[in-house]
Structure 1
Amino acid sequence: MAGYNRRTFLKGAGVALGSLAFGAGNVSATADSERFFINLTEVDRSDVPDDVEIIHDLSAADVLVARGDQSRVGSAVATAPDVKIDLSDDETGAVAEAEGPTVAGNSASHNHDGAPSNTEYQWDKREQEASGELTDKPGGGKFVHDTTTGEGTRVAVVDTGVYDDHPDLEDVVNAELSKNITGDGLDFRPNGAGSHGTHVAGTIAATNDNDGPAGGVLGTAPDTEIVAVRMFSGLQGYAGDGLAGWEYAAQIGCDAINYSVGYTVADTVEYPGLIALEKIISQVANYVRSQGTVVVNSAGNASLDMDAENILSLPTEADGVFGVSATGPIGYGWGGKHSDNEAKWLTGNRLDEPTTEPAFYTNYGSAVDVSAAGGNVDLEAIATNPDAYNDLVYSTINTTNDDGDVVPGYGWKAGTSMAAPQVAGAVALVRSLRPDASVDEVESLIQETASQPEEGETYHGAGHLDLNALVKAASDGGGGNAGGGTTGNGKKKKGK
């Protein structure tokens, strides 16, 4: 196994990592000259010129998304740039990725003690003891899904679109409620931006219904309903479309929004408009919360301290947003004498780093509410050893074949984008047991039941997501004291 020292690696490569994907893609931090936000707490709507086009009316949150001459609308604090998010340098929004088999194919299994299965790669669901469906499960006893599978809940995936013809997602996505928010005239399904949204949806709610030779994969809450809200047209999206997706999700009664999208800026002095944007995001987030919807967001993949001066990671640092950092193993299924038995991949001395190890790329700081499985990467090993991809998160994907047809399959991705849906699925589990729980109560339950690894609050916030403890507390009626933890609505903020 290649040498791996997280802190040494960061010391040498941390600056370069800032150019990698932030959330679901790279961002053009310069203001788009045509699109901008209007904050109606700072300017009266009647003072907005008639020739300024309103793209999205989010006035329930005192926000408008507009197109026109920004300088003609109120004072400097009354508007903010609508940030363009560009996926052209990172098609899937992951730090690392690899395609696996199609749904009709065999997995490249190392397992000789049972039928090959895609679920053998799901270290995230195995470690959380999600279900007895997982092949050759380590341990035993009661599983999370013995108590709840998320029935009666709804989660919005505001992202690149979701391919609902995947056999593990066919009965999951509500096609009637799913929506394309971009205005490009197509539907909610992926449109040229890869499989990021499909991967996220599978992590939340895949059903393991594929009857192919390798089976399927299983989500955290396989009986929740997914609403796909596509905010990317081709490789480009706007923060304003994302916030419009948030409002829509709240209006249709979603229990959670998974927003594995973000943008980290290492010099807010250069982009002062983003400070005004932070306030606008907070207004929308707090409106969404008032409707009972939890906003779960990936903390970002720039390996940056979000508490450092002039660093800003949005939307994570905005009030009302539940920020999730990423963890993952190093050494899962890499080989050795037990490589033929995946039940041992999480046990004994098989791992160089545990599944709770902070991923080298994850942002960190007081804006992190909890950590969750996002996948880890040994960049030296992955260049020569295909088994090193097993440390990433394995889920549903869609690809396009040589004939231009969309093909459902499975693949690995690592990023805070992959950690956020673990928590969005957890929200569904809580709400299935406590449908009347407030946003504060849901967030507090997740934090109060989280376990705290040795790296502490800096990387894990209140701790690492613990589904067993969470479901037990939710079903027992304990925990959930809104004042008992630091939630996304009350996270400590650095001065800016």
Structure 2
Amino acid sequence: MSDHSRRTFLKAAGGAVGSAALLTGSASADGSSGPDRRFLVDLREVSRSEVPDDVEIIHDISEIDVLAARGDPGAVPGSASTVADLAVYQHDATPEGGPAKEHSGKGRGSKGPAWDSGEPTNTELQWDKRAQRVGDLTENPGNGRTVQDTATGEGTRVAVIDSGVYDHPDLAGVVNEELSENFTTDPYDFRPNGAGNHGTHVAGIVAGNNADGEGILGTAPDTEILSHRVFSGVQGASGDTIAAVVDAASKGCDAANLSLGYPLPYVYPDEYPFLLDVKEMYERAVSYARSQDMVVVNSSGNDALDMDQEGVLSLPTEVEGVFGVAATGPIGYLWDDKKPSREDKALKKLDKPTAYPANYTNYGEAVDVSAAGGNYDPEAIDEVEGWYYDLVLSTVYETNEDGETVPDYGWKAGTSMAAPQVAGAVALVRSLRPDASVEEVETLIRETARDAPEGETYHGAGHLDLRRLIKRAR
């Protein structure tokens, strides 16, 4: 697949991002100092007592000997004691937008007259859950066992480290508001503030409860979500993200979903050596998370990047202990939108199957498994009305003409949508095996994954297979 081997083109395109990926107020790429920088302090290189009082401590992450700070990094003794606090992005919301897609159209038939119009309903549009037989989304209830006949994630907890989770009917009672937290420096709570509905979409994929039978069904609807917000706008901070991972582990989460990362050109440590320092900080956080029995699930990125190339480092996917997820998706789902062709028959009438690698997904040895993230045919966007049916439908919100924020449904595609499929799978396993170690959970997911088109380069151990997974975990 030639469109997955574009290092030269992508590197040139990524150069347009330039210094935008360095956090405003962060230590600069050349390590220079300044009066109001975001940076990380390594307490293994300098004692806490040596950090000047005029350095503001944003997060005390003492569990891994790190402080997230603001001030003048040059005031902290020791050349190795500070690390640039690199900007991090939602994986489908980088400065240049990236090749991943979204569509603002509402879930057809979601509420009101369209329900009886013969148009697809929200449950029919959830190819990602239907392909896995996650729950009873068919028009013929009881037609065979589903994954959720065995496990629904009860008694588990998943952290969505993202842009925040909005109040939505399909997430009612799902978010633990007491334990959720805002890790940014803005004064608001864990709900979205200026960073869009990315986290809300991710949360629906994990734990939508399809409250009225017309909405979104998540993989693990009985799990509990912690909304750990790390974005106020497009950019987030590495220090906020690392603090959120450690906090989620300390609060007993079974999995943390990180649908975020670092865009081109910040994948070349020879050019940006501070990437190696940031990697080491993530390694500490992930090691701590694993010691607390939490699986760290990360989207592999949307740059169609071969992560196995020499001189490439894709963070945090390539951090030791991170469970990396690539994206797949169909081409042609419900394009022939006729009532008799729906149900699971629609999954057999595809130009490309649901397990086919998405055209944007990063790939390589850092991928543990692939999962449904959505796909699209660029030529169909202007030609096919329902081209976006190949994206993933989930919970979002919009601002109506009266300026009110209201719940809604919408499509997105990206490895950001693939990772929460796996985070939900962790919840299912832990609901059946509460004492399973991180290693045991990850091994079960890998060993039950199935072979998929284009092989292990794009799928690691294989494509997520929830039915096989739950059968083995029982």
TM-score (norm 1): 0.85
Pick closer, same or farther for the CA change 1:451–1:367 going to 2, 3 Å: same
Distance 1:423 1:43, change over 3 A: same
User: What is aligned with 1:435?
Assistant: 434
Equivalent residue of 2:190, what SS? coil
Could you tell me which residue of structure 1 aligns to residue 393 of structure 2? 394
Report deviation, 1:233: 1.5
- Matched to 1:191, the amino acid is N
Q: Does the CA-based 8 Å contact 2:7-2:306 persist in structure 1?
A: no
Assess, with a 3 A threshold, how the Cα gap between structure 1 residues 395 and 387 changes in structure 2: closer, same or farther.
Answer: same
Distance in 1 (CA, whole Å) between partners of 2:417 and 2:89 is 19
Q: What amino acid is the match of 1:81?
A: A
- Equivalent residue for 1:105, pick from 100, 111, 124: 111
1:204 aligns with 2:206: yes
1:149 is aligned to 2:148: no
Which residue does the alignment assign to 1:325?
326
Q: Which residue of 2 aligns with 1:486?
A: none
Counterparts of 1:2-17 in structure 2 under 5 Å?
7-10=1-4, 15-16=9-10
Contact 2:89–2:261 (8 Å) recurs in 1: no
- Mean CA deviation greater in 378-387 or 433-442: 378-387
Over residues 376-399 of structure 1, what are the superposed CA-to-partner deviations in whole Å (9 max), with x where a residue is unaligned?
A: 111111233231111111111111
SS of the residue 2:327 aligns to: strand
| Aligned partner letter, 1:121 | L
Aligned to 1:29: 21
Classify the secondary structure of the residue corresponding to 2:160: strand
Partners in 1 of 2:165 and 2:19 — Cα distance? 22
CA contact (8 A) 1:77 1:276 kept: no
Q: Which has the higher mean CA deviation after the structures are superposed, 417-426 or 329-338?
A: 329-338
- Amino acid paired to 1:393: V
- Give CA deviations for 1:250-298 in whole Å, capped at 9, x if unaligned: 1211111111011142432221101111011000111111111111111
Kindly report which structure 2 residues correspond to 1:45-444, keeping only aligned pairs within 5 A, or say none.
45-85=48-88, 95-101=100-106, 105-106=111-112, 112=118, 116-135=120-139, 140-164=143-167, 166-210=168-212, 215-264=214-263, 265-335=266-336, 340-347=341-348, 350-444=349-443
**Distance of 1:90 and 1:135 partners within structure 2:** 42
Shift in Å at residue 124 of structure 1? 0.7
CA distance 1:195–1:93, shift in 2 (3 Å): farther
CA deviation vs aligned residue, 1:226-268 (integer Å, no higher than 9, x gap): 1111111133321111111111111211111111011142432
Structure 2 CA distance for partners of 1:109 and 1:413, relative to 1, 3 Å: farther
For the Cα contact (< 8 Å) 1:298–1:324, is it kept in 2?
Answer: yes
Counterparts of 1:15 and 1:135, CA distance in 2: 46
1: distance between equivalents of 2:70 and 2:39? 6
Distance 1:436 1:195, change over 3 A: same
Supply the distance in 1 between the matched residues of 2:12 and 2:150 (Cα, whole angstroms): 41
Range that drifts further, 70-79 or 387-396: 70-79
Total equivalences in the alignment:
456
Note the residue ranges of structure 2 that are not aligned, 5 or more in a row.
28-36
Consecutive unaligned residues of structure 1, counting only runs of 5 or more, are 1-6, 476-496
State the Cα deviation string for residues 352-385 of structure 1 (Å, max 9, x = none).
1111111111111111111111011111112332
